[in-house]
Structure 1
Amino acid sequence: MKRQTTANRPLAAGLSALLLATVALVPFFPSSPAFALSELKRVPGDAQDVEPVPGETQDEPPAADPEQGVAPLQIPMPDPLVQKPTTDTKDDALDDEPPAAPVEVLSDVSKIPAPVARMRELIVEAAASGDIERLRPLLGKGPTQTQVGDGQDDPIATLKGLSGDGEGVEILAILLDLLSTGFVNIDKGTPDEMYVWPYFAEKPLDSLTPPEKVDLFRLVTAGDYAGMEEFGGYNFYRIGITPDGQWKFFTGGD
Protein backbone atom coordinates (compact mmCIF):
# COMPACT_ATOMS: atom_id res chain seq x y z
CA MET A 1 0.00 0.00 0.00
CA LYS A 2 1.08 3.48 -0.85
CA ARG A 3 1.79 5.57 2.25
CA GLN A 4 0.35 9.11 2.71
CA THR A 5 2.77 11.81 2.34
CA THR A 6 3.27 14.45 4.92
CA ALA A 7 1.86 17.03 2.50
CA ASN A 8 -1.62 15.35 2.42
CA ARG A 9 -2.12 15.21 6.23
CA PRO A 10 -3.39 18.81 6.69
CA LEU A 11 -6.07 18.21 4.00
CA ALA A 12 -7.40 15.05 5.71
CA ALA A 13 -7.55 16.76 9.06
CA GLY A 14 -9.63 19.63 7.60
CA LEU A 15 -12.17 17.26 6.05
CA SER A 16 -12.61 15.44 9.36
CA ALA A 17 -13.26 18.67 11.23
CA LEU A 18 -15.87 19.75 8.65
CA LEU A 19 -17.70 16.43 8.96
CA LEU A 20 -17.88 16.68 12.76
CA ALA A 21 -19.26 20.23 12.56
CA THR A 22 -22.00 19.15 10.14
CA VAL A 23 -23.09 16.31 12.41
CA ALA A 24 -23.23 18.69 15.41
CA LEU A 25 -25.69 20.99 13.57
CA VAL A 26 -28.28 18.25 12.97
CA PRO A 27 -30.94 18.32 15.87
CA PHE A 28 -31.46 15.18 17.80
CA PHE A 29 -35.03 13.81 17.90
CA PRO A 30 -35.94 10.77 19.88
CA SER A 31 -37.43 7.99 17.90
CA SER A 32 -41.01 8.55 19.01
CA PRO A 33 -44.20 8.44 16.87
CA ALA A 34 -45.52 11.71 15.38
CA PHE A 35 -48.63 13.26 16.99
CA ALA A 36 -51.56 14.75 15.12
CA LEU A 37 -52.55 18.33 15.93
CA SER A 38 -55.67 17.09 17.68
CA GLU A 39 -53.53 14.95 20.02
CA LEU A 40 -51.34 17.77 21.24
CA LYS A 41 -51.68 18.55 24.93
CA ARG A 42 -54.18 21.38 25.63
CA VAL A 43 -53.70 24.07 28.21
CA PRO A 44 -55.67 23.29 31.44
CA GLY A 45 -58.78 25.41 31.75
CA ASP A 46 -59.18 25.76 27.97
CA ALA A 47 -62.85 25.98 26.95
CA GLN A 48 -62.32 23.02 24.64
CA ASP A 49 -61.44 20.83 27.64
CA VAL A 50 -64.85 21.39 29.29
CA GLU A 51 -67.17 18.48 28.78
CA PRO A 52 -70.51 19.60 27.23
CA VAL A 53 -73.58 19.18 29.39
CA PRO A 54 -76.09 16.77 27.85
CA GLY A 55 -78.99 18.61 26.24
CA GLU A 56 -77.08 21.88 25.88
CA THR A 57 -75.48 23.23 22.75
CA GLN A 58 -72.13 24.92 22.69
CA ASP A 59 -72.05 28.52 21.47
CA GLU A 60 -70.36 29.05 18.16
CA PRO A 61 -67.06 30.95 18.50
CA PRO A 62 -67.12 34.47 17.07
CA ALA A 63 -65.98 34.80 13.53
CA ALA A 64 -62.44 36.03 13.05
CA ASP A 65 -61.83 39.49 11.66
CA PRO A 66 -60.20 38.88 8.26
CA GLU A 67 -58.20 42.11 8.49
CA GLN A 68 -56.84 41.74 12.02
CA GLY A 69 -56.78 37.96 12.24
CA VAL A 70 -58.26 38.07 15.74
CA ALA A 71 -61.86 37.34 16.70
CA PRO A 72 -63.54 40.65 17.75
CA LEU A 73 -65.02 41.00 21.22
CA GLN A 74 -68.83 40.94 20.96
CA ILE A 75 -70.82 42.64 23.73
CA PRO A 76 -74.55 41.72 23.80
CA MET A 77 -76.94 44.63 23.30
CA PRO A 78 -79.24 45.41 26.27
CA ASP A 79 -82.96 44.66 25.94
CA PRO A 80 -85.25 47.69 25.46
CA LEU A 81 -86.76 49.14 28.62
CA VAL A 82 -90.24 49.11 27.10
CA GLN A 83 -91.36 46.07 25.19
CA LYS A 84 -93.61 47.17 22.32
CA PRO A 85 -96.13 44.73 20.89
CA THR A 86 -95.40 43.49 17.43
CA THR A 87 -98.89 44.40 16.25
CA ASP A 88 -101.06 47.42 16.89
CA THR A 89 -103.99 45.97 18.82
CA LYS A 90 -105.85 49.27 18.60
CA ASP A 91 -105.74 49.27 14.80
CA ASP A 92 -106.72 45.60 14.74
CA ALA A 93 -109.74 46.37 16.91
CA LEU A 94 -110.77 49.18 14.57
CA ASP A 95 -110.36 46.90 11.56
CA ASP A 96 -112.71 44.38 13.18
CA GLU A 97 -115.52 46.94 13.55
CA PRO A 98 -118.22 46.66 10.89
CA PRO A 99 -118.60 49.67 8.59
CA ALA A 100 -121.29 52.17 9.52
CA ALA A 101 -124.64 51.63 7.81
CA PRO A 102 -125.51 54.22 5.15
CA VAL A 103 -127.85 56.99 6.28
CA GLU A 104 -131.34 56.77 4.77
CA VAL A 105 -132.49 60.25 3.82
CA LEU A 106 -136.28 60.68 3.94
CA SER A 107 -138.32 63.33 2.15
CA ASP A 108 -141.93 62.11 2.02
CA VAL A 109 -143.69 63.41 5.15
CA SER A 110 -146.81 61.49 4.22
CA LYS A 111 -145.02 58.25 5.16
CA ILE A 112 -144.03 59.26 8.71
CA PRO A 113 -146.21 58.84 11.82
CA ALA A 114 -149.16 61.25 11.82
CA PRO A 115 -148.17 62.92 15.14
CA VAL A 116 -144.75 63.74 13.71
CA ALA A 117 -146.21 65.16 10.51
CA ARG A 118 -148.71 67.22 12.51
CA MET A 119 -146.06 68.80 14.77
CA ARG A 120 -143.92 69.64 11.74
CA GLU A 121 -146.91 71.34 10.10
CA LEU A 122 -147.67 73.40 13.21
CA ILE A 123 -144.06 74.61 13.50
CA VAL A 124 -144.07 75.64 9.83
CA GLU A 125 -147.29 77.59 10.26
CA ALA A 126 -146.03 79.40 13.37
CA ALA A 127 -142.68 80.25 11.78
CA ALA A 128 -144.29 81.53 8.58
CA SER A 129 -146.50 83.90 10.59
CA GLY A 130 -143.54 85.97 11.72
CA ASP A 131 -144.80 85.94 15.32
CA ILE A 132 -142.43 83.95 17.53
CA GLU A 133 -144.99 83.79 20.34
CA ARG A 134 -146.97 81.34 18.24
CA LEU A 135 -144.26 78.81 19.00
CA ARG A 136 -144.90 78.95 22.75
CA PRO A 137 -147.72 76.35 22.93
CA LEU A 138 -145.65 74.00 20.75
CA LEU A 139 -142.60 74.17 23.02
CA GLY A 140 -144.41 72.62 25.99
CA LYS A 141 -143.77 73.05 29.70
CA GLY A 142 -142.07 71.27 32.57
CA PRO A 143 -140.50 67.85 31.84
CA THR A 144 -141.77 67.84 28.26
CA GLN A 145 -140.54 71.32 27.38
CA THR A 146 -138.51 71.51 24.19
CA GLN A 147 -134.78 71.81 24.72
CA VAL A 148 -133.58 75.08 23.20
CA GLY A 149 -130.28 76.91 23.59
CA ASP A 150 -128.83 76.84 27.09
CA GLY A 151 -132.07 75.68 28.71
CA GLN A 152 -133.44 78.90 30.22
CA ASP A 153 -136.86 78.78 31.88
CA ASP A 154 -138.50 80.86 29.13
CA PRO A 155 -137.79 79.17 25.76
CA ILE A 156 -139.16 82.12 23.76
CA ALA A 157 -136.74 84.47 25.51
CA THR A 158 -133.95 82.04 24.73
CA LEU A 159 -134.90 81.92 21.04
CA LYS A 160 -134.97 85.71 20.83
CA GLY A 161 -131.50 85.82 22.37
CA LEU A 162 -130.22 83.37 19.75
CA SER A 163 -131.73 85.38 16.89
CA GLY A 164 -129.46 87.92 15.23
CA ASP A 165 -132.22 90.53 15.11
CA GLY A 166 -133.13 90.13 18.79
CA GLU A 167 -136.82 89.55 18.04
CA GLY A 168 -136.67 85.95 16.84
CA VAL A 169 -137.31 86.62 13.15
CA GLU A 170 -134.03 85.03 12.10
CA ILE A 171 -134.83 81.95 14.18
CA LEU A 172 -138.24 81.63 12.49
CA ALA A 173 -136.54 81.72 9.08
CA ILE A 174 -134.07 79.05 10.16
CA LEU A 175 -136.95 76.81 11.33
CA LEU A 176 -138.60 77.08 7.92
CA ASP A 177 -135.33 76.29 6.11
CA LEU A 178 -134.62 73.26 8.30
CA LEU A 179 -138.09 71.75 7.89
CA SER A 180 -137.90 72.15 4.10
CA THR A 181 -134.94 69.73 3.83
CA GLY A 182 -134.83 65.96 3.98
CA PHE A 183 -134.76 64.22 7.36
CA VAL A 184 -133.71 60.97 9.02
CA ASN A 185 -135.20 58.49 11.46
CA ILE A 186 -132.60 57.67 14.15
CA ASP A 187 -132.53 55.00 16.90
CA LYS A 188 -135.47 53.25 15.29
CA GLY A 189 -137.33 50.85 17.57
CA THR A 190 -135.76 52.24 20.78
CA PRO A 191 -137.02 54.67 23.45
CA ASP A 192 -134.73 57.28 21.87
CA GLU A 193 -136.27 57.04 18.41
CA MET A 194 -136.44 60.44 16.75
CA TYR A 195 -137.14 62.17 13.45
CA VAL A 196 -134.39 64.72 12.86
CA TRP A 197 -134.18 67.68 10.46
CA PRO A 198 -131.96 68.28 8.52
CA TYR A 199 -130.43 64.97 7.48
CA PHE A 200 -126.96 66.59 7.47
CA ALA A 201 -127.01 66.20 11.25
CA GLU A 202 -126.61 62.43 10.84
CA LYS A 203 -124.72 62.14 7.56
CA PRO A 204 -120.94 62.63 7.23
CA LEU A 205 -120.03 65.71 5.23
CA ASP A 206 -117.57 63.82 3.04
CA SER A 207 -120.40 61.52 1.91
CA LEU A 208 -122.63 64.30 0.59
CA THR A 209 -123.46 64.22 -3.12
CA PRO A 210 -123.29 67.45 -5.17
CA PRO A 211 -127.10 67.98 -4.94
CA GLU A 212 -126.93 67.39 -1.18
CA LYS A 213 -124.20 70.01 -0.88
CA VAL A 214 -126.51 72.45 -2.63
CA ASP A 215 -129.15 71.66 0.02
CA LEU A 216 -126.61 72.33 2.74
CA PHE A 217 -125.53 75.65 1.23
CA ARG A 218 -129.14 76.80 1.38
CA LEU A 219 -128.69 76.71 5.17
CA VAL A 220 -125.08 77.79 5.67
CA THR A 221 -122.39 79.83 3.94
CA ALA A 222 -119.17 78.55 2.39
CA GLY A 223 -117.32 79.83 5.45
CA ASP A 224 -119.67 77.87 7.72
CA TYR A 225 -119.07 74.76 5.63
CA ALA A 226 -115.28 75.15 5.92
CA GLY A 227 -115.69 75.43 9.68
CA MET A 228 -117.78 72.26 9.70
CA GLU A 229 -115.09 70.38 7.80
CA GLU A 230 -112.55 71.46 10.39
CA PHE A 231 -114.98 70.57 13.19
CA GLY A 232 -115.64 67.16 11.67
CA GLY A 233 -119.38 67.36 11.02
CA TYR A 234 -122.54 69.40 10.72
CA ASN A 235 -122.85 71.79 13.69
CA PHE A 236 -125.70 74.14 12.73
CA TYR A 237 -129.26 74.01 14.08
CA ARG A 238 -131.35 70.84 14.08
CA ILE A 239 -134.89 69.85 15.07
CA GLY A 240 -135.96 66.59 16.72
CA ILE A 241 -139.54 65.26 16.99
CA THR A 242 -140.45 61.98 18.74
CA PRO A 243 -142.75 59.40 17.10
CA ASP A 244 -145.61 60.53 19.41
CA GLY A 245 -145.33 64.12 18.13
CA GLN A 246 -143.36 65.78 20.94
CA TRP A 247 -141.00 68.56 19.84
CA LYS A 248 -137.94 67.28 21.66
CA PHE A 249 -135.21 69.78 20.80
CA PHE A 250 -134.14 72.74 18.68
CA THR A 251 -130.41 73.15 19.21
CA GLY A 252 -127.17 73.93 17.45
CA GLY A 253 -123.72 72.39 17.77
CA ASP A 254 -122.55 68.80 17.38
Structure 2
Amino acid sequence: MQTSTGGKTLFRSSLIVLSVLFTTTALVAPARPAFALSELKNEQGQVQQKPAEGSETPPVEEEQEETGPLELPMPDPLIRRNEAVTEPSDGTPAADDKAADEPEVPVEFLSDIAKAPEPVRRMRELIVEAAASGDIERLRPLLGKGMTETQVSIVETDEGPVETLKGQSGDDEGIEVLAILLDVLATGFVHVGKGTADELYVWPYFAEKPLATLTPPEKVDLLRIVTAGDFADMKEFGSYNFYRVGITPDGQWKFFVTGD
Protein backbone atom coordinates (compact mmCIF):
# COMPACT_ATOMS: atom_id res chain seq x y z
CA MET A 1 0.00 0.00 0.00
CA GLN A 2 2.84 2.37 0.85
CA THR A 3 4.58 1.56 -2.37
CA SER A 4 1.46 2.21 -4.36
CA THR A 5 0.82 5.43 -2.63
CA GLY A 6 4.37 6.54 -3.11
CA GLY A 7 4.21 5.78 -6.84
CA LYS A 8 1.12 7.90 -7.29
CA THR A 9 2.76 10.69 -5.44
CA LEU A 10 5.83 10.44 -7.65
CA PHE A 11 3.68 10.41 -10.81
CA ARG A 12 1.80 13.49 -9.75
CA SER A 13 5.07 15.26 -8.93
CA SER A 14 6.36 14.47 -12.44
CA LEU A 15 3.22 15.91 -14.03
CA ILE A 16 3.59 19.10 -12.04
CA VAL A 17 7.25 19.43 -13.06
CA LEU A 18 6.42 18.90 -16.74
CA SER A 19 3.62 21.46 -16.61
CA VAL A 20 5.92 24.01 -15.02
CA LEU A 21 8.62 23.37 -17.63
CA PHE A 22 6.15 23.76 -20.52
CA THR A 23 4.79 27.03 -19.14
CA THR A 24 8.28 28.39 -18.60
CA THR A 25 9.33 27.49 -22.14
CA ALA A 26 6.35 29.32 -23.55
CA LEU A 27 7.09 32.43 -21.51
CA VAL A 28 10.79 32.63 -22.33
CA ALA A 29 10.43 31.78 -26.13
CA PRO A 30 11.44 34.73 -28.34
CA ALA A 31 8.55 36.67 -29.87
CA ARG A 32 8.00 36.49 -33.72
CA PRO A 33 9.54 39.59 -35.33
CA ALA A 34 7.17 42.14 -36.96
CA PHE A 35 6.90 42.01 -40.76
CA ALA A 36 8.10 44.92 -42.95
CA LEU A 37 5.47 46.29 -45.35
CA SER A 38 6.97 44.43 -48.32
CA GLU A 39 7.21 41.25 -46.27
CA LEU A 40 3.64 41.69 -45.18
CA LYS A 41 2.52 41.90 -48.80
CA ASN A 42 4.56 38.83 -49.62
CA GLU A 43 2.97 37.13 -46.74
CA GLN A 44 -0.50 38.01 -48.05
CA GLY A 45 0.35 37.00 -51.65
CA GLN A 46 0.00 40.51 -53.11
CA VAL A 47 3.55 40.83 -54.48
CA GLN A 48 4.76 38.77 -57.41
CA GLN A 49 7.13 36.07 -56.23
CA LYS A 50 10.65 35.97 -57.62
CA PRO A 51 10.80 33.41 -60.39
CA ALA A 52 12.95 30.42 -60.03
CA GLU A 53 16.36 30.33 -61.65
CA GLY A 54 16.36 29.36 -65.32
CA SER A 55 12.79 30.47 -65.93
CA GLU A 56 12.01 33.52 -68.12
CA THR A 57 10.13 36.41 -66.73
CA PRO A 58 7.05 37.01 -68.89
CA PRO A 59 6.98 40.51 -70.40
CA VAL A 60 4.74 42.96 -68.72
CA GLU A 61 2.05 44.17 -71.11
CA GLU A 62 1.66 47.93 -70.99
CA GLU A 63 -1.82 49.21 -70.76
CA GLN A 64 -2.69 50.84 -74.09
CA GLU A 65 -4.61 54.06 -74.14
CA GLU A 66 -7.87 54.07 -76.01
CA THR A 67 -7.60 56.19 -79.10
CA GLY A 68 -10.08 57.38 -81.70
CA PRO A 69 -10.02 56.57 -85.44
CA LEU A 70 -6.66 56.76 -87.14
CA GLU A 71 -6.17 60.19 -88.72
CA LEU A 72 -3.86 60.50 -91.71
CA PRO A 73 -1.78 63.67 -92.08
CA MET A 74 -2.85 66.23 -94.70
CA PRO A 75 -0.97 65.98 -98.01
CA ASP A 76 1.66 68.45 -99.00
CA PRO A 77 0.22 71.79 -100.25
CA LEU A 78 1.66 71.09 -103.70
CA ILE A 79 -0.22 67.80 -103.83
CA ARG A 80 -3.45 69.43 -102.67
CA ARG A 81 -3.12 72.07 -105.36
CA ASN A 82 -2.54 69.43 -108.04
CA GLU A 83 -5.49 67.38 -106.86
CA ALA A 84 -7.78 70.39 -106.98
CA VAL A 85 -7.15 70.81 -110.73
CA THR A 86 -8.60 68.08 -112.85
CA GLU A 87 -7.26 68.06 -116.35
CA PRO A 88 -9.14 66.41 -119.24
CA SER A 89 -7.91 63.03 -120.40
CA ASP A 90 -6.64 64.51 -123.66
CA GLY A 91 -4.08 66.59 -121.79
CA THR A 92 -5.65 69.98 -122.49
CA PRO A 93 -5.74 72.44 -119.57
CA ALA A 94 -8.89 72.62 -117.48
CA ALA A 95 -11.37 75.42 -118.18
CA ASP A 96 -10.60 77.08 -114.84
CA ASP A 97 -6.90 77.12 -115.73
CA LYS A 98 -7.64 78.78 -119.04
CA ALA A 99 -9.73 81.46 -117.37
CA ALA A 100 -7.02 82.03 -114.78
CA ASP A 101 -4.27 82.19 -117.39
CA GLU A 102 -6.10 84.64 -119.66
CA PRO A 103 -5.32 88.20 -118.57
CA GLU A 104 -8.16 90.67 -118.33
CA VAL A 105 -8.34 93.01 -121.29
CA PRO A 106 -8.18 96.56 -119.90
CA VAL A 107 -10.75 99.18 -120.87
CA GLU A 108 -9.17 102.36 -122.26
CA PHE A 109 -11.07 105.61 -121.69
CA LEU A 110 -10.45 108.21 -124.42
CA SER A 111 -11.56 111.76 -125.11
CA ASP A 112 -9.44 112.56 -128.17
CA ILE A 113 -10.93 111.11 -131.37
CA ALA A 114 -7.49 111.41 -133.00
CA LYS A 115 -6.42 108.39 -130.92
CA ALA A 116 -8.92 106.16 -132.70
CA PRO A 117 -8.01 104.34 -135.95
CA GLU A 118 -8.72 106.21 -139.18
CA PRO A 119 -11.64 103.91 -140.22
CA VAL A 120 -13.31 104.59 -136.87
CA ARG A 121 -12.84 108.32 -137.17
CA ARG A 122 -14.23 108.28 -140.71
CA MET A 123 -17.39 106.36 -139.79
CA ARG A 124 -18.06 108.60 -136.80
CA GLU A 125 -17.68 111.68 -139.02
CA LEU A 126 -20.19 110.30 -141.57
CA ILE A 127 -22.72 109.48 -138.83
CA VAL A 128 -22.42 112.97 -137.34
CA GLU A 129 -22.94 114.60 -140.75
CA ALA A 130 -26.02 112.49 -141.47
CA ALA A 131 -27.58 113.06 -138.05
CA ALA A 132 -26.93 116.82 -138.15
CA SER A 133 -28.78 117.05 -141.48
CA GLY A 134 -32.09 116.19 -139.82
CA ASP A 135 -32.82 113.63 -142.52
CA ILE A 136 -32.81 110.13 -141.04
CA GLU A 137 -32.68 108.59 -144.51
CA ARG A 138 -29.08 109.72 -144.76
CA LEU A 139 -28.25 107.08 -142.19
CA ARG A 140 -29.49 104.25 -144.39
CA PRO A 141 -26.28 103.67 -146.43
CA LEU A 142 -24.24 103.75 -143.20
CA LEU A 143 -26.39 101.13 -141.45
CA GLY A 144 -25.32 98.34 -143.80
CA LYS A 145 -27.22 95.27 -145.00
CA GLY A 146 -27.36 91.57 -144.31
CA MET A 147 -24.51 90.30 -142.13
CA THR A 148 -23.07 93.80 -141.76
CA GLU A 149 -26.37 95.48 -140.85
CA THR A 150 -26.15 97.69 -137.78
CA GLN A 151 -28.07 96.45 -134.77
CA VAL A 152 -30.59 99.12 -133.72
CA SER A 153 -32.75 97.09 -131.35
CA ILE A 154 -32.16 94.40 -128.77
CA VAL A 155 -35.41 92.80 -129.95
CA GLU A 156 -35.54 91.16 -133.35
CA THR A 157 -37.85 92.84 -135.86
CA ASP A 158 -38.75 92.47 -139.52
CA GLU A 159 -38.45 96.21 -140.12
CA GLY A 160 -35.39 97.83 -141.60
CA PRO A 161 -33.04 99.77 -139.29
CA VAL A 162 -34.26 103.21 -140.43
CA GLU A 163 -37.90 102.24 -139.83
CA THR A 164 -37.01 100.82 -136.43
CA LEU A 165 -35.24 104.04 -135.41
CA LYS A 166 -38.23 106.10 -136.51
CA GLY A 167 -40.44 103.94 -134.32
CA GLN A 168 -38.20 104.62 -131.31
CA SER A 169 -38.31 108.40 -131.81
CA GLY A 170 -40.80 110.62 -130.06
CA ASP A 171 -41.69 112.20 -133.39
CA ASP A 172 -42.70 110.73 -136.72
CA GLU A 173 -39.56 111.82 -138.61
CA GLY A 174 -36.99 110.42 -136.22
CA ILE A 175 -35.53 113.83 -135.32
CA GLU A 176 -35.31 112.96 -131.63
CA VAL A 177 -33.26 109.85 -132.32
CA LEU A 178 -30.89 111.88 -134.51
CA ALA A 179 -30.41 114.41 -131.70
CA ILE A 180 -29.65 111.59 -129.24
CA LEU A 181 -27.16 110.11 -131.71
CA LEU A 182 -25.31 113.43 -131.95
CA ASP A 183 -25.20 113.85 -128.16
CA VAL A 184 -23.85 110.34 -127.66
CA LEU A 185 -21.05 110.80 -130.23
CA ALA A 186 -20.11 114.15 -128.66
CA THR A 187 -18.94 112.46 -125.43
CA GLY A 188 -15.75 110.60 -124.65
CA PHE A 189 -15.48 106.96 -125.68
CA VAL A 190 -13.86 103.69 -124.61
CA HIS A 191 -11.69 101.14 -126.36
CA VAL A 192 -12.77 97.65 -125.29
CA GLY A 193 -11.63 94.13 -126.15
CA LYS A 194 -8.28 95.26 -127.48
CA GLY A 195 -6.59 92.51 -129.49
CA THR A 196 -9.68 90.28 -129.48
CA ALA A 197 -12.45 89.47 -131.96
CA ASP A 198 -14.78 91.70 -129.90
CA GLU A 199 -12.62 94.82 -130.14
CA LEU A 200 -14.76 97.95 -130.33
CA TYR A 201 -14.83 101.70 -129.82
CA VAL A 202 -17.92 102.53 -127.79
CA TRP A 203 -19.71 105.83 -127.08
CA PRO A 204 -20.45 107.14 -124.48
CA TYR A 205 -17.77 106.15 -121.98
CA PHE A 206 -20.47 105.83 -119.27
CA ALA A 207 -21.28 102.46 -120.83
CA GLU A 208 -18.11 101.01 -119.26
CA LYS A 209 -17.72 103.16 -116.16
CA PRO A 210 -19.42 102.61 -112.77
CA LEU A 211 -21.87 105.45 -112.24
CA ALA A 212 -20.89 105.71 -108.57
CA THR A 213 -17.39 106.81 -109.63
CA LEU A 214 -18.46 109.68 -111.90
CA THR A 215 -16.92 113.05 -111.11
CA PRO A 216 -19.06 116.25 -111.19
CA PRO A 217 -17.87 117.13 -114.73
CA GLU A 218 -18.67 113.59 -115.88
CA LYS A 219 -22.14 113.86 -114.38
CA VAL A 220 -22.64 117.01 -116.45
CA ASP A 221 -21.68 115.02 -119.55
CA LEU A 222 -24.20 112.34 -118.66
CA LEU A 223 -27.03 114.80 -117.96
CA ARG A 224 -26.56 116.24 -121.46
CA ILE A 225 -27.88 112.87 -122.67
CA VAL A 226 -30.37 111.82 -119.97
CA THR A 227 -32.50 113.53 -117.33
CA ALA A 228 -31.77 113.58 -113.61
CA GLY A 229 -34.61 111.13 -113.12
CA ASP A 230 -33.05 108.78 -115.69
CA PHE A 231 -29.71 109.08 -113.87
CA ALA A 232 -31.35 108.12 -110.56
CA ASP A 233 -32.98 105.09 -112.22
CA MET A 234 -29.63 104.05 -113.70
CA LYS A 235 -27.93 104.18 -110.32
CA GLU A 236 -30.65 101.95 -108.93
CA PHE A 237 -30.33 99.65 -111.94
CA GLY A 238 -26.56 99.53 -111.47
CA SER A 239 -25.23 100.77 -114.81
CA TYR A 240 -25.77 103.04 -117.80
CA ASN A 241 -28.65 101.67 -119.90
CA PHE A 242 -29.40 104.37 -122.48
CA TYR A 243 -28.28 104.61 -126.13
CA ARG A 244 -24.76 103.61 -127.10
CA VAL A 245 -22.81 103.41 -130.36
CA GLY A 246 -20.23 100.78 -131.28
CA ILE A 247 -17.78 100.91 -134.21
CA THR A 248 -15.26 98.18 -135.05
CA PRO A 249 -11.57 99.02 -135.69
CA ASP A 250 -12.13 98.54 -139.43
CA GLY A 251 -14.94 101.13 -139.47
CA GLN A 252 -18.10 99.00 -139.36
CA TRP A 253 -21.02 100.57 -137.47
CA LYS A 254 -21.82 97.64 -135.21
CA PHE A 255 -24.74 98.90 -133.13
CA PHE A 256 -26.83 101.84 -131.98
CA VAL A 257 -29.05 100.45 -129.24
CA THR A 258 -30.61 101.36 -125.95
CA GLY A 259 -30.59 99.09 -122.93
CA ASP A 260 -27.95 97.20 -120.97
Instruction: Give the TM-score taking structure 1 as reference length.
Output: 0.61
- Counterpart position of 1:163: 169
The 8 Å contact of residues 103 and 203 in structure 1, kept in 2 or not, is answered as: no
- Counterpart position of 1:247: 253
1:234 aligns with 2:236: no
The alpha carbon displacement at 1:167 in A equals: 2.1
Mind listing any 5+ residue stretches in structure 1 that lack a counterpart? 1-33, 35-50, 60-95
Map residues 11-30 of structure 1 onto 2, 5 A cutoff: none
Map residues 1-254 of structure 1 onto 2, 5 A cutoff: 53=63, 56-57=64-65, 103-149=107-153, 150-153=155-158, 154-254=160-260
Instruction: Compare CA radii of gyration and give the structure with the larger one.
Output: 2
CA RMSD of aligned residues (A): 3.4
Q: Between the two proteins, what is the percent identity of the paired residues?
A: 71
Amino acid across the alignment from 1:128: A
CA distance in 1, matches of 2:106, 2:216: 17
CA distance in 2, matches of 1:157, 1:251: 14
- Counterpart position of 1:78: none
How big is each residue's C-alpha offset from its partner over 1:16-60, in whole Å with a ceiling of 9 and x where there is no partner? xxxxxxxxxxxxxxxxxx9xxxxxxxxxxxxxxxx995xx5469x
CA distance in 1, matches of 2:108, 2:146: 33
CA distance in 2, matches of 1:192, 1:205: 23
CA distance in 2, matches of 1:103, 1:240: 14
Greater displacement, 177-186 / 157-166:
157-166
- Counterpart position of 2:19: none
Query: When you count helix as a share of all residues, which structure comes out higher?
Result: 2
What is the aligned length?
Answer: 180
Amino acid across the alignment from 1:243: P
The 8 Å contact of residues 52 and 58 in structure 1, kept in 2 or not, is answered as: no
Structure 2 CA distance for partners of 1:118 and 1:58, relative to 1, 3 Å? closer
Structure 2 CA distance for partners of 1:142 and 1:102, relative to 1, 3 Å? closer
CA distance in 2, matches of 1:125, 1:171: 14
Amino acid across the alignment from 2:145: K
